Structure 1
């Protein structure tokens, strides 16, 4: 049996045309609303045929100043030779990209952009689309990060040890001058090259050549562990001798436990290879600096940071006692803040004016003060009496300076005469620099916290003042607002709201009737029943509240209660007639609290209701006026039991 022949229906021409129109409309909308600048050029003539609004806004030129112009005829692209050459390259390769291209807006402002151009075939015509993305903010952020990294690296640049930082594939990312000197290879020949491609020749302690697999960097990569006290030789090409180094290397991982970089530290021990104590001291110093740096970076507790610092000062510098005096910028005095190694607590009461005594002189003149024999020196300051019985014979005071400001003084004391070399003094200054950073970090953090606290207290006091001002206008509700706010916060906590959200709940509750400031006294204070016309006016207080509070940015999250606390679960409330869970949760909670406190309070026209009567009344309104779940949680709470 033959199957019936079916024929496909011919496409509707109008439908195709409409689809084309819709497609063009979608493209036009994307073009107009794109958050990148877009230029459309004729690929043959180079004339600009279209420009989107974002680029007009970005560069400040009008549409007329773009259209029918060549790229280099527009002020932002005035580098004529470069623009022409780029256009020729684009015509040839049909693609060109600049990751960073500086443009100038019409008013002369520099705009860093990412510039990508492609050639497309549209029908029988070739067009060029240029996408121009403003990356000025990103560049500024990158520059700020680079400045921070450069500051950190400048510290490493001055360390008396060689430091190399490698990527996980062994590529050299950073190399300080000491490392270049130890390896006898200029830093520029090592940077951005993998270890296998470098001319390093390492030897084992027995003098045999070290295979590539045993290089410290590879040991760390393979094991993922810290490499400590690894002794090896560096074969010097000129003399044929070995320079001996003590290597410590450690991996650094990111938050997802992926290897981020490897830090390799070389200490030249050629002259002191057999001097174990000296080597140990170097390592301990470096470890101390790292531990102090970690204590500073991971804690804003000044006592903890200084305790860590002073412990290392006494152990690493082999001194008998040390303390930190903090500079009070208000009284211009140095005050004891932390100390270790003292026999008595008398030093804790020390106060010394700027310029007085050894510490005052160190701070004022911003230089290290060394008193090798305290018996022959006369410090007129009263602290000489405070140190009686300590038997100190020598003293060092180092000013603590951060960002050009005096932070205090680090003092160290000896009870016996000891000669100290330049290395010891430099390490003392390094520890003092760490102390200054710790104090500065904590000061910045404390100032920020204090400012935030004062600002929050000012907000809170202002809001409470507004609520009290409203209650002064209506004596019958005196105390209602504060009670309702306190109760609402307690109940809202039962619904899992965070502390930050509870602050907004409290503010919203305090301001729940703020809109009544816009209601005339003859309506607000009327004891008789309101007329229908008067009710229309009274109900506007929620709208007035919204209009008053919404312009205040920090109160926008608190608007739910003032605006919606008269909405009802069944949708018969006002001002919007919201229904069910359309009503914000905090407004549903406050609605219960508002009725509870009002009925539990005496009024001129009635006495307060009993607890049981109020509970029954609220329960009866569950599902109509109130959210049934909110009613259940509230009535089962301890707060609404009495």
Structure 2
């Protein structure tokens, strides 16, 4: 029995599949080469499905000791209480973070790690990605700072005796009187605070020349200043991180320890504050965090590109990341139209007006046209001094942009468009910023290429389907021209069979095959000699043997054609009978394909309702009664019932 396929024969999207494969390869390279440990878990079962080489090397366990295990079943996590709670926390909160999680390697060594997990949707499957960063070096650096700081306390306890040594310490030392005025300051502190020791003497901690900020950028209040905290509490303040912004807008990050000294009368005598410069550490952390954010953004954009062929959706996702990650005020994508050779707006974010949506730039004209034609980035640092006519229209509309970048979008060597970004205030950018802008432009080009490829495939599929239909209809007309007695019969039964088949729940793809099968139901008669096919008298038994072979001829003619194999049910089996007395195989009951059983009823209906040279057409009631009489012998009873109960056959 011939089964209809789940998809039409013209649904070949191999180009899109290749794009998905390329995206997966890019993500896999990131996964394999990442300098953090990465675990992938199934969000429903909690089982580990993948682990990257870095984590295997970090913890010393083999891949087999990770995969298909729950987190707390892996040796490194067995003694970590957090691992038992993290899975439930992830299901509830979608995100979890541990700052200092001790993991034990297979060799028994403890490794402090930063553990961050997120829940992602990949297709219809939820997965958990755990990023595990070894912070051993950072912990050792912090311990060294603390050790150095603690070693210095013994020197600071008697400042007057050790001042010559304190002056040369690699950390800043500031001594405050009980009213917080500065009474002593070494050169390192002077450099960090941006004033000479003489200028600092007598100043209070809240001097307007500088101000201090938390790690989140918010300004410290008077009460939060380290010296004021110690004066208010009388207790040691340890490992307090803050930023120092001086009058010249220079910024330093310091690790602060503040120590109260009391006299014999237990009255506060002074507060000693040490400042260890950790600006390099903070910069390194910020670079790592920024790099991680960039990687995450690229992965999210990749997913948006590969799981949707909606260009507006892909571009909206991309432009959101452009504005957030690059910290620009506005961005847009101009699509290249190869027919008109112009750049046309497709998506934008951050604009105050809709003027940008109406701009059409010829290739080679304006900044965007120049970037596209030369295939190189265009940067205009000051739009107040120069701008092209296209940007002039936008600036006059009140956008107030001051700088511009235009990056060409190139995929597979072809120009796809231009990514434009705008600032409303002067900005300076380093190489990392420019590299990420180019990476985002590459993602935009891939997205446009994917959608273009998909649209072209869709268009080709439609054209191919139309060609198939035209060819099949041509074959059916050729058969009718040979046998004028059945003129119009093929088209009518094709329409009625599709209508009746739809009542049986067949899908649109299956109905296409049903229609083609109905149009070609008698195609095998092309191989029947004219002497038999056009004979006016009754056929002899030998001639009937030849005539019945038309179903086998249909099979031989159509089966080599791949896209028609699923349409063979009707041409090959429409003369089979419910009771097994039909031909060519003598199939019985449900052995006969459903499409053939449906068509058999429609074929007899149309034949009896049409005039033939040897009889006039029958009335509707007479045909209905005839179908009932053959129900259960010639026809499927259920098909007959559905047919007669519906209004499909009304003529």
**C-alpha displacement at 1:215, in angstroms?**
9.3
The one of 52, 55, 58 equivalent to 1:174 is: 52
**Contact 2:38–2:129 (Cα < 8 Å) also in 1:** yes
* Equivalent position SS for 1:436: helix
Distance 2:360 2:122 in 1: 45
Residue in structure 1 matched with residue 130 of structure 2 by the alignment: 262
TM-score (norm 1): 0.62
Residue in structure 1 matched with residue 563 of structure 2 by the alignment: 554
* Equivalent position SS for 2:563: helix
**Contact 1:516–1:524 (Cα < 8 Å) also in 2:** yes
The one of 461, 470, 483 equivalent to 1:461 is: 470
* Equivalent position SS for 2:493: helix
The one of 416, 434, 440 equivalent to 1:407 is: 416
| 1:335-484 equivalences in 2 (<5 Å) | 335-379=344-388, 382=390, 384-385=392-393, 388-389=396-397, 390-484=399-493
487-496 or 358-367: bigger deviation = 358-367
**C-alpha displacement at 1:274, in angstroms?**
4.5
**Contact 1:251–1:263 (Cα < 8 Å) also in 2:** no
Identify if the C-alpha distance between structure 1 residues 257 and 320 changes in structure 2 by more than 3 Å, giving closer, same or farther: closer
Identify if the C-alpha distance between structure 1 residues 631 and 310 changes in structure 2 by more than 3 Å, giving closer, same or farther: same
Residue in structure 2 matched with residue 618 of structure 1 by the alignment: 627
| 1:2-151 equivalences in 2 (<5 Å) | 151=26
**C-alpha displacement at 1:250, in angstroms?**
3.1
The one of 544, 553, 557 equivalent to 1:535 is: 544
Identify if the C-alpha distance between structure 1 residues 375 and 497 changes in structure 2 by more than 3 Å, giving closer, same or farther: same
**Contact 2:334–2:344 (Cα < 8 Å) also in 1:** yes
The one of 249, 258, 276 equivalent to 2:216 is: 276
| 1:282-361 equivalences in 2 (<5 Å) | 288-329=297-338, 332-361=341-370
Residue in structure 2 matched with residue 152 of structure 1 by the alignment: 27
Residue in structure 2 matched with residue 6 of structure 1 by the alignment: none
**C-alpha displacement at 1:285, in angstroms?**
5.2
**C-alpha displacement at 1:165, in angstroms?**
1.2
Query: CA-atom RMSD, angstroms?
Result: 4.4
**C-alpha displacement at 1:618, in angstroms?**
1.1
Residue in structure 2 matched with residue 165 of structure 1 by the alignment: 38
**Contact 2:89–2:96 (Cα < 8 Å) also in 1:** no
Distance 1:508 1:478 in 2: 18
**C-alpha displacement at 1:175, in angstroms?**
5.9
Distance 2:115 2:365 in 1: 46
Distance 2:599 2:469 in 1: 19
Identify if the C-alpha distance between structure 1 residues 357 and 233 changes in structure 2 by more than 3 Å, giving closer, same or farther: farther
Distance 2:396 2:33 in 1: 39
**C-alpha displacement at 1:264, in angstroms?**
3.4
* Equivalent position SS for 2:52: strand
Distance 1:283 1:156 in 2: 12
The one of 589, 596, 613 equivalent to 1:587 is: 596
Residue in structure 2 matched with residue 45 of structure 1 by the alignment: none
CA offsets, 1:520-542, max 9 Å, x none?
A: 33433344444444433332222
**C-alpha displacement at 1:218, in angstroms?**
7.4
* Equivalent position SS for 1:429: helix
Distance 2:625 2:530 in 1: 33
Distance 2:38 2:316 in 1: 30
Distance 1:413 1:323 in 2: 9
Distance 1:261 1:417 in 2: 38
**Contact 2:532–2:539 (Cα < 8 Å) also in 1:** yes
**C-alpha displacement at 1:306, in angstroms?**
0.8
Name stretches of at least 5 consecutive residues in structure 2 with no aligned partner: 1-18, 42-46, 67-76, 104-110, 143-211, 218-284
CA offsets, 1:413-460, max 9 Å, x none?
A: 223333444444344333323322322332333333333333333222
Distance 2:533 2:296 in 1: 72
**Contact 2:23–2:306 (Cα < 8 Å) also in 1:** no
**Contact 1:402–1:437 (Cα < 8 Å) also in 2:** yes
CA offsets, 1:281-333, max 9 Å, x none?
A: 77765654443333223222111111122233234434332111123355544
Distance 1:155 1:498 in 2: 41
567-576 or 555-564: bigger deviation = 567-576
Residue in structure 1 matched with residue 527 of structure 2 by the alignment: 518
Name stretches of at least 5 consecutive residues in structure 1 with no aligned partner: 1-143, 180-186, 198-210, 236-242
- Larger radius of gyration, structure 1 or 2? 2
2:516 maps to 1:576: no
* Equivalent position SS for 1:276: coil
Distance 1:311 1:254 in 2: 20
Distance 1:467 1:252 in 2: 53
Distance 2:550 2:28 in 1: 61
Identify if the C-alpha distance between structure 1 residues 282 and 220 changes in structure 2 by more than 3 Å, giving closer, same or farther: farther
CA offsets, 1:50-98, max 9 Å, x none?
A: xxxxxxxxxxxxxxxxxxxxxxxxxxxxxxxxxxxxxxxxxxxxxxxxx
Residue in structure 1 matched with residue 649 of structure 2 by the alignment: 640
* Equivalent position SS for 2:401: coil
Residue in structure 1 matched with residue 202 of structure 2 by the alignment: none
**Contact 1:171–1:193 (Cα < 8 Å) also in 2:** no
Identify if the C-alpha distance between structure 1 residues 244 and 338 changes in structure 2 by more than 3 Å, giving closer, same or farther: farther
